[in-house]
């Protein structure tokens, strides 16, 4: 069998020099703008706002920019805090086939080191593309079983960040291979910390971005790891999934497509496993014109992760509510969308929303579970007062590659989420610099 680590290291190295076609370049610009959209609101919220003053001693004399406390600092500090912020409000991008949010750890690490090293925008783009390539393909090899106990964005994100950092450090395929190997040992983040009201989930990509840069720095300095770390019997895949990895699936299409062109841009501010239900109820309401007062009960049948992760009838915090299908579906019906304001105390305490949540039931559909993660679907049954029952199968999610957000939608998302967290002129400058311009230096 081809050693997948060596093959992925070669592919990552190729991105340092190969032509970047315009669709790939544009997808990368979209990913960066989407990263800013989800990072800026997280900068003024816990846990990033709590962690920034607690990490004063790690500021250093670096030239990376921390958007949380708006100061220059070491690249590892900036990568950590920015990645925490980018995962806080649950609007970050998704590689759906691998159940993975690559942007939070990968772009955070790449942008911080690019600023510190005064890299060009082209350098930054290539590092992000390579980090997405390796991370997303590894997620294909280990999913869906990896997700039973591990948070992919934290584990695989460490490897994606390491690759992006290594590209910016000028590493060849040997150095990048060792960075991947080291990152597999630094990877962590278990599912229990995705449950309940704790703040650990947002720290996961922060650790991934920081540890990924540490792996890249170590490999650049000559530290080595086992080059069989991904696929060996005691390697990363075997330790964190049911097999030693489906590497044929992971490596399929190398050189013909790259994952950054197949990203989901989130259209709702909550867990992506809830999206099919939100899109489905939106389609049903548009067709039939019902309101919350018309509904006697709603039954949602989803794939396994929808039921296991998002059946939370009594969420106790904003973080918990972002993973509650009952809460998000009720908010969608009452407010017309699941945006940042949905998780403010005034909305979370509304008696009408809390009462309506009791009318929503969630179950697993074995057929939809078999289709996951390639297809993210939901079956909805809406029983109306008076005895009429409506049924709907939602086959796609808005924002997925099959139903993508337009550039205009993405720019509108950026301006909505950055409003109130960054002065208007700064937001416009970020939009021009990283999305609209053709070339510049990052710093």
In contact, 319 and 197? CB cutoff 8 Å: yes
Convert the pLDDT of each residue in 305-348 to its tens digit. 999 999 999 999 998 999 999 999 999 999 999 999 999 999 99
For residue 410, count other CB atoms closer than 10 A to its CB: 21
Quote the tokens at residue 258. Answer: 């790259």
Please report whether residue 17 resides in a domain.
yes
Shared domain for 366 and 219, answered yes or no, is no
| pTM of the predicted protein model | 0.93
Proportion of the chain above pLDDT 90, given as a percent: 89
In contact, 295 and 385? CB cutoff 8 Å: yes
Altogether, the residues listed in the chain come to a count of 443
Domain of 387, CATH number, reads 3.30.1330.120
Shared domain for 412 and 317, answered yes or no, is no
- Give the pLDDT confidence score for residue 437 in this predicted structure: 44
> What CA–CA distance (Å, rounded) separates 202 from 316?
17
Q: Where are the alpha helices (DSSP H) in 221-303?
A: 236-240, 247-251, 275-288
Domain of 192, CATH number, reads 1.10.4100.10
Candidates 362, 358, 354, 361; CA nearest to 308 is 362
Q: How does residue 443 score in pLDDT terms, banded at 50, 70 and 90?
A: low
Please report whether residue 440 resides in a domain.
no
Burial of 169 (0-12, 13-18, 19+ CB in 10 A): buried
Convert the pLDDT of each residue in 83-98 to its tens digit. 999 999 999 999 999 9
Q: For 386-396, what is the mean pLDDT?
A: 95
Shared domain for 164 and 240, answered yes or no, is yes
The H or E element that residue 383 is part of is strand 378-384
Shared domain for 249 and 325, answered yes or no, is no
Shared domain for 167 and 81, answered yes or no, is yes
Helix (H, G, I), strand (E, B), or coil: what is residue 413?
Answer: helix
297, 356, 366, 383 from 387: Cα distances, Å = 11, 18, 28, 7
Shared domain for 380 and 411, answered yes or no, is no
Strands 295-302 and 360-364: parallel
Shared domain for 12 and 128, answered yes or no, is yes
Convert the pLDDT of each residue in 95-151 to its tens digit. 999 999 999 999 999 999 999 999 999 999 999 999 999 999 999 999 999 999 999
Convert the pLDDT of each residue in 191-220 to its tens digit. 999 876 789 999 999 999 999 999 999 999
Please report whether residue 256 resides in a domain.
yes
Please report whether residue 204 resides in a domain.
yes
Shared domain for 100 and 55, answered yes or no, is yes
Please report whether residue 439 resides in a domain.
no
Please report whether residue 44 resides in a domain.
yes
Convert the pLDDT of each residue in 258-295 to its tens digit. 999 999 999 999 999 999 999 999 999 999 999 999 99
Please report whether residue 220 resides in a domain.
yes
For residue 279, count other CB atoms closer than 10 A to its CB: 25
Range of the domain at 56: 4-266+404-434
Residue 438 has pLDDT above 80, yes or no: no
Shared domain for 181 and 305, answered yes or no, is no
Please report whether residue 139 resides in a domain.
yes
**Sole residue written with tokens 């389609």:** 283
Q: How many structural domains does the chain have? A: 2
Shared domain for 414 and 387, answered yes or no, is no
């Amino acid at each position: 069998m081809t050693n997948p680590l060596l093959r992925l290291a070669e592919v990552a190295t190729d991105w340092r020099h190969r032509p970047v076609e315009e669709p790939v370049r544009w997808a990368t610009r979209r990913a960066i703008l989407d990263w800013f959209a989800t990072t800026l609101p997280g900068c003024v919220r816990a846990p990033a706002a709590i962690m920034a003053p607690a990490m004063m001693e790690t500021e250093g004399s670096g030239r990376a920019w921390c958007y949380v406390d708006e100061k220059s600092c070491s690249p590892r500090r900036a990568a950590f805090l920015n990645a925490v912020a980018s995962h806080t409000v649950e609007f970050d991008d998704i590689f759906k086939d691998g159940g993975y949010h690559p942007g939070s750890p990968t772009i955070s690490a790449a942008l911080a080191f690019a600023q510190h090293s005064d890299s060009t925008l082209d350098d930054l783009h290539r590092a992000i593309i390579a980090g997405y390539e390796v991370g997303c393909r590894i997620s294909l090899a280990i999913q869906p079983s990896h997700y039973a106990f591990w948070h992919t964005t934290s584990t695989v994100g460490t490897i994606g960040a390491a690759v992006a950092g290594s590209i910016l450090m000028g590493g060849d395929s040997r150095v990048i291979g060792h960075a991947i190997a080291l990152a597999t040992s630094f990877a962590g983040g278990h599912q229990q910390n995705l449950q309940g009201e704790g703040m650990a989930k947002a720290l996961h990509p922060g650790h991934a971005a920081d540890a990924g840069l540490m792996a890249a720095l170590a490999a650049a300095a000559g530290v080595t790891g086992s080059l069989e770390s991904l696929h060996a019997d005691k390697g990363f895949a075997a330790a964190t999934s049911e097999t030693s990895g489906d590497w044929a699936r992971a490596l399929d299409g190398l050189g013909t497509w790259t994952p950054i062109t197949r990203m989901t841009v989130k259209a709702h501010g909550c867990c992506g496993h809830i999206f099919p239900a939100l899109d489905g109820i939106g389609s049903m309401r548009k067709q039939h014109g019902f309101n919350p007062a018309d509904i006697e009960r709603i039954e949602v049948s989803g794939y396994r992760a929808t039921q296991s992760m998002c059946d939370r009838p009594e969420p106790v915090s904003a973080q918990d509510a972002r993973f509650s299908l009952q809460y998000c579906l009720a908010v969608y019906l009452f407010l017309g969308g699941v945006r940042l304001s949905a998780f403010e105390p005034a909305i979370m305490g509304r008696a009408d929303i809390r009462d309506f949540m009791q009318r929503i039931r969630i179950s697993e559909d074995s057929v939809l579970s078999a289709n996951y993660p390639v297809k993210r679907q939901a079956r909805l049954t809406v029983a109306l007062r008076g005895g009429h029952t409506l049924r709907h199968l939602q086959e796609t999610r808005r924002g997925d590659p099959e139903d993508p957000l337009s550039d205009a939608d993405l720019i509108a998302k950026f301006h909505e989420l950055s409003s109130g967290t960054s002065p208007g002129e700064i937001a416009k400058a970020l939009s021009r610099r990283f999305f609209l311009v053709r070339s510049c230096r990052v710093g």
